Amino acid sequence: MSEAAFRMFELAQQGFKCSQILLMLGLERQGKENPDLIRAGSGLAGGLGFCGKICGALTGGVCLLGLYAGRGKVNESENPQLNVMVDQLVSWFEEQFGSNGINCTDILGGDPKQKIDAVKCGNIVAATYSKVQAILADQGINTAGEGR
């Protein structure tokens, strides 16, 4: 088991959800903590607050791309490739997991409030994290260290 996969499992055991786990891994990779961001990520879990809509791994992955390539201060610029990176992630996610759609209910085959599949969701989160890292690497964005 890779270090990232072990950390994902550990965070899931602590009760963190898909989107939160992705954001925590990104922050930890930068040597940062941001409880406010992690709290905000909880609204994406279970398909937008457990409404079963867009998968939290996908929206969390998009937020993770934004963490590295988005704009957060007046004197910063958004990476001009951010929307291209988001499109790459969404297209990949649809191809990998969206045969029935990209909503949480479509992927799980039922209401996420009743039917979270730890193995399936864990695999999706792990694959999404790897894909985000690959997309960022392809753009020459260093994900380790302090970041911005």
Question: Hey, is 87 helix, strand or coil?
Answer: helix
Half-sphere CA count of 75, side-chain side, radius 13 A: 1
Judge whether 129 lies within some domain. Answer: yes
Mean pLDDT in residue range 49-70 = 96
Output DSSP code: residue 139: T
| pLDDT reported for residue 4 | 84
23 and 63 Cβ atoms separated by less than 8 Å: yes
Is residue 38 included in any domain, yes or no? yes
CA separation for the pair 96, 102 (Å, rounded): 10
Which pLDDT score, from 0 to 100, does residue 146 have?
54
Asked whether residue 145 is domain-assigned, the answer is no
Range of the domain at 115: 3-138
Determine, yes or no, domain membership for 78. Answer: yes
Query: By the 8 A CB rule, do 42 and 19 touch?
Result: yes
Number of domains in the chain: 1
Does position 27 have pLDDT exceeding 80, yes or no?
yes
Residues in the chain: 148
CA nearest to 28, candidates 144, 138, 118: 144
Residue 145 has pLDDT above 70, yes or no: no
- pLDDT above 90 coverage of the chain, percent: 83
Block residue for tokens 């922050």: 27
Q: What angle do CA 110, 113, 115 make, to 5 degrees?
A: 45
**Is 143 within a domain?**
no
In a domain? residue 125: yes
Percentage of the residues of the chain whose pLDDT score is greater than 70: 96
Decide if 148 is inside a domain: no
For residues 105-112, average pLDDT: 90
Q: Kindly report the average pLDDT of the chain as a whole number.
A: 93
Residue 54 backbone class (left: φ over 0; alpha: ψ -120 to 50; beta: rest): beta
Give bridge partners of residue 99 from the DSSP assignment: 101
pTM of the model: 0.93
Q: Report yes or no on 108 lying in a domain.
A: yes
